[in-house]
């Protein structure tokens, strides 16, 4: 799992990061809401660990901003205050779980893994631009035109459609393939991405997958024909 940790206590943040890495997580640590928000918008995370009080800033404001922007990442709030009213306020703003400081790292790891196992309750049809992906039929559709997808292609496409306009790394694509018992290598990931991109083009979709050197890939909208815009 890739986690974003936003914690202004430097010693606690670094210690928590070391423990999570030892437990098998990939962790990006930031100590301000501004830096954490930039990372959250730019990178695909499996879970966000958000301190409720960051100096004079309130993590609940960032949580509300993220939910309003359509970011559905699982969020675990950290707080030094364990009042029921505060927990209710966080849950109402979109938090998925709470942990009161001081906490045992074993409990944090267990809660994060439990969040990662929660079923996805989103619709069976994913949409971005003029693309629709029917998960049940495993087909990519543009209007009435449709093409079937292999199991690996469907896993890759689903990851992009759940996180459009955001970087998806090769490691994250590999994790998605591995989680569904698909064999993968760097080369096979590239092949899956190429095939999905080709099927988008065959259907005339206004969406493509852009390779970002050294970062990964991103699903993006193509500029309208005739606008003179360039990639």
Longest dimension (CA), the chain: 58
pLDDT of residue 41: 84
What mean pLDDT do residues 150-171 have?
Answer: 86
Percent of the chain with pLDDT over 70: 85
pLDDT band for 183, please (50, 70, 90 cuts): low
Percent of the chain with pLDDT over 90: 35
- Neighbouring-strand partners of residue 142: 145
Segment 2-23, tens digit of pLDDT: 899 999 889 999 999 999 999 9
Look at residue 199 and tell me whether its pLDDT is greater than 90: yes
Are 166 and 213 in contact by the 8 Å Cβ rule? The answer is no
pLDDT of residue 59: 85
Q: Which domains does the chain carry? A: 2-117 (3.40.50.2300), 125-221 (1.10.10.10)
Burial class (CB in 10 A: 0-12, 13-18, 19+), 24: exposed
More confident call, 48 vs 138 = 48
pLDDT of residue 230: 41
* 2 alpha-carbon distance from chain centroid: 9
> What are the CA-CA distances from residue 221 to residues 2, 73, 152 (Å)?
26, 22, 23
38-42, 165-169, 206-210: which has the highest mean pLDDT?
Answer: 206-210
What is the average pLDDT value for the chain, to the nearest integer?
A: 83
17-26, 86-95, 164-173: which has the highest mean pLDDT?
Answer: 17-26
pLDDT band for 226, please (50, 70, 90 cuts): low
pLDDT of residue 121: 45
Q: Which residues contact 6 (CB under 8 A, 6 or more apart)?
A: 30, 31, 32, 33, 36, 48, 49, 50, 51, 54, 59, 62
More confident call, 70 vs 24 = 24
More confident call, 160 vs 116 = 160
Question: How far apart are alpha carbons 132 and 112 in whole angstroms?
Answer: 31
Look at residue 229 and tell me whether its pLDDT is greater than 70: no
pLDDT of residue 140: 93
What mean pLDDT do residues 204-214 have?
Answer: 93
Look at residue 180 and tell me whether its pLDDT is greater than 50: no
Question: How far apart are alpha carbons 231 and 210 in whole angstroms?
Answer: 9
pLDDT of residue 120: 53
pLDDT band for 231, please (50, 70, 90 cuts): very low
């Amino acid at each position: 799992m890739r986690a974003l940790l936003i914690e202004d206590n430097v010693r606690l943040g670094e210690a928590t990061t070391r423990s999570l890495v030892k437990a098998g997580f990939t962790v990006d640590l930031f100590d301000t809401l501004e830096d954490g928000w930039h990372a959250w918008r730019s990178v695909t995370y499996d879970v966000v660990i958000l301190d409720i009080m960051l100096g004079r800033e309130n993590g609940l404001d960032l949580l509300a901003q993220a939910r309003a922007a359509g970011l559905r990442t699982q969020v675990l709030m950290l707080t030094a205050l364990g009042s029921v009213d505060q927990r209710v306020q966080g849950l109402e703003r979109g938090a998925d779980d709470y942990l009161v400081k001081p906490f045992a790292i074993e409990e944090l790891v267990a809660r994060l893994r439990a969040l990662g196992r929660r079923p996805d309750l989103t619709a069976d049809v994913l949409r971005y631009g003029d693309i629709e992906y029917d998960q049940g039929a495993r087909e990519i559709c543009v209007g009435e035109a449709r093409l079937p997808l292999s199991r690996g292609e469907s896993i890759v496409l689903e990851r992009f459609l759940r996180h459009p306009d955001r970087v998806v790394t090769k490691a994250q694509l590999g994790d998605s393939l591995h989680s569904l018992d698909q064999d993968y290598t760097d080369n096979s990931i590239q092949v899956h991405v190429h095939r999905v991109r080709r099927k988008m083009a065959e259907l005339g979709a206004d969406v493509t997958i852009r390779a970002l050197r050294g970062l990964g890939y991103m699903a993006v909208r193509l500029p309208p024909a005739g606008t003179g815009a360039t990639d």
